[in-house]
Amino acid sequence: MIMDARSVPPGTVLEPEVCIVGAGAAGITLAREFIGSPFRVVLLESGGMHYDQRTEDLYEGQSVGRPFEDLTTCRLRYFGGTTNHWGGWCLPYDAIDFEPRDTLPYHGWPFSKPHLDPWYRRAQKVCRIGPYDYRPSHWGISPKEIPSPFSGPDFEVRILQVSSVQFGPVYAEELRRAPQLHVYLHANAFHFDAGENNAAVRELSVKTLSGIDFTVRARLYILAAGGIENARLLLTSGKQGGKGLGNAHDLVGRFFMVHLVYSGGVIAPAHPRMTFDFRSEGDYTGFGGKHPFVSFIGLPAASMRRRHLPNMMISWGYKFSPVVHAVNALKRVLEGEGPGGRLMADLSKVVGNLEGVADFAARKVLFGEGIPIEALEVHCASEQEPNPQSRVFLGSKRDRLGMREIVVDWQLVPEDKSKAIAILRLLGAEIGRAGFGRLHSSLANEGRWPSDFYGNEHQMGATRMHRDPKQGVVDENCRVHGVANLYVAGSSVFPTGGANNPTLTIVALALRLADHLKKVLA
Ligand SMILES: Cc1cc2nc3c(=O)[nH]c(=O)nc-3n(C[C@H](O)[C@H](O)[C@H](O)COP(=O)(O)OP(=O)(O)OC[C@H]3O[C@@H](n4cnc5c(N)ncnc54)[C@H](O)[C@@H]3O)c2cc1C
């Protein structure tokens, strides 16, 4: 059932077994797992079914560290959460992302990737993407097509899958039909009361912007309010004048990280007719259907280990070459790919570059040549090192509900830059060694972040997972250390951020958490 909290009689006390805060990717995934179970679930969502500025303003805050994205645009506060405008790029974290690393501090998850594999498999279904198989050769990319700098040992081609699931619209109907699941829209979790010693949540107070207050008394509570808001709610909760919930060791809000996004420079190919046209994006027809995917360049684990490097995702764009775009457009037209609206645009690209396309076709047939490139733009998304000085904390300003706003103090360590430089220099060296071309990179050559550098929307780490309460906010089951019945779902629990997009891992962890909670409740 989906209800409007603004019509709940003030003072009401709801008493479900499970209370989930936030209906984004994490919260909706968790709630769906309880459909058909004997447990009554309340899912509280701050927003309604659509964007509303007054509600979005509850996300306002300040940035006092490195320039950070506007807090009201890098996340969305309504049913479906930030997936209402995500890009849908999905891939699991790499096995190395879970491992402790000799020279990279604070690395290591409490479990390995194989442990999470069964939930990753199920997460693929939730995100409605293809099979749990990310081997490029299974996605129509033949190793023979891959130019040598990108076929090992230091760089390799990888693929990711693209989901078109916006969790709100896609799963609303299923939640509406579930009788023991009550979704409350316009319901803002406000304060967890966990008694004098903060040992277990007794009740959660909830507020609407229309002025209604009510209470939820559940056996178990799960915070799934997003990477920053999870920390905010822990910090504002607990006994009056205290440090917040789960914050005995001053860890809540610390280790805040994102992915670092910037231009890695431009590759000038060694020969004017150099080709670089293995399938880089599109719909792969296989595995019993059509599945969108995108390829990118990554570092093999052995390379990262040997050279003490963090993870990085490298993608590319074709610069100055309308023929490349026209040939790709022609391929899409011939294969009947892509959304219908693109057909006319694709056709006009082909017609506008007929001469170039014909030249390409002739050379392909006669000499087996691929699409000529003039230059490749290199785009990087690199891993940020976990850093206790990078943090979110409570400011003195309050939002319209009276909750203290968040302050983001996003900080990097010198190694974030020096390791990015090391990877780009390695890329440059490998491209040169293979006779592929030359990399011109302001970061690698001059050692400064390019002007387009920013920290992206993948907010991670602020309630990090660690078995030891002195090193993490939640334990390996995502339970807040020291609080018997409070759990956290979402990327705030990631101890390290890797370089891959986080949502498939968020969904896998939410499925794992749901399995655990059912055992706790049984
Ligand atoms: C432009 C953009 C593109 C992106 N592209 C990708 C991508 O391609 N691939 C990828 O993996 N990730 C991507 N992401 C990130 C992705 O959107 C997030 O990782 C994902 O949505 C996080 O899920 P979540 O459930 O933890 O949080 P959210 O989706 O943010 O959901 C949190 C929910 O909690 C609710 N809430 C907040 N506070 C309260 C409260 N006090 N009480 C009740 N409810 C509350 C919010 O309204 C919201 O519905 C992108 C993000 C952006 C902004």
pTM of the model: 0.93
The pLDDT tens digits for 176-204 are 999 999 999 999 999 999 998 999 999 99
Tell me what the mean pLDDT of segment 465-469 comes to. Answer: 98
Distance 243 CA to ligand 1 centre (A): 26
> Please, are residues 223 and 510 in contact by the beta-carbon 8 Å criterion?
no
The pLDDT tens digits for 160-176 are 999 999 999 999 999 99
Distance 459 CA to ligand 1 centre (A): 9
> Taking Cα atoms as reference points, which of 193, 147, 190 lies closest to residue 376?
147
Distance CA 407, CA 65 (A): 9
Distance 264 CA to ligand 1 centre (A): 27
Q: Is the pLDDT of residue 15 over 70?
A: yes
Q: Is the pLDDT of residue 338 over 60?
A: no
Q: Is the pLDDT of residue 279 over 90?
A: no
> Please, are residues 237 and 426 in contact by the beta-carbon 8 Å criterion?
no
Atom 3 of ligand 1: nearest residue by CA position = 86
Which DSSP string do the residues of 446-465 spell out, in sequence order?
Answer: H-S--TT-EE-S--B-TT-B
Please provide the average confidence, as pLDDT, over all residues in the chain: 93
User: Which has more confidence, 51 or 375?
Assistant: 51
> Please, are residues 32 and 170 in contact by the beta-carbon 8 Å criterion?
no
Q: Is the pLDDT of residue 277 over 60?
A: yes
Distance 77 CA to ligand 1 centre (A): 8
Distance CA 313, CA 92 (A): 13
The pLDDT score that the predictor gives to residue 145 is 82
The pLDDT score that the predictor gives to residue 80 is 98
Handedness of CA 334, 338, 341, 342 (dihedral sign): negative
Using the atom order of ligand 1, give the atom closest to the CA of residue 225. 34
CA angle, 158 then 163 then 169, to 5°: 165
Q: Is the pLDDT of residue 32 over 80?
A: yes
Which DSSP string do the residues of 396-458 spell out, in sequence order?
Answer: EEE-TTSPEEEEEE----HHHHHHHHHHHHHHHHHHHHTTSEEEE-HHHHH-S--TT-EE-S-
Share of the chain above pLDDT 90, in %: 80
Q: Is the pLDDT of residue 288 over 90?
A: no
Distance CA 63, CA 73 (A): 14
pLDDT band at 316 (very low <50, low <70, confident <90, very high): confident
The pLDDT score that the predictor gives to residue 368 is 72
The pLDDT score that the predictor gives to residue 298 is 97
Q: Are strands 41-44 and 18-21 parallel, antiparallel or unpaired?
A: parallel
Q: Which helix (H) or strand (E) holds 285?
A: strand 281-286
Distance CA 80, CA 25 (A): 7
Which DSSP string do the residues of 43-72 spell out, in sequence order?
Answer: EE-SS-SS--HHHHGGG-EEE-SS----TT
The pLDDT tens digits for 238-260 are 998 889 999 999 999 999 999 99
214 bridge partner residues: 206
Q: For the chain, list the domains and their CATH numbers.
A: 2-321+372-521 (3.50.50.60), 322-371 (no CATH)
Q: Is the pLDDT of residue 106 over 80?
A: yes
Which residues surround ligand 1 with Cβ inside 6 Å?
Answer: 21-27, 44-47, 74-75, 77-78, 81-83, 85-89, 188-189, 224-226, 229, 233, 457-458, 490-491, 501-503, 506
Helices marked H in 5-126:
25-33, 53-56, 113-126
The pLDDT tens digits for 205-217 are 999 999 999 999 9
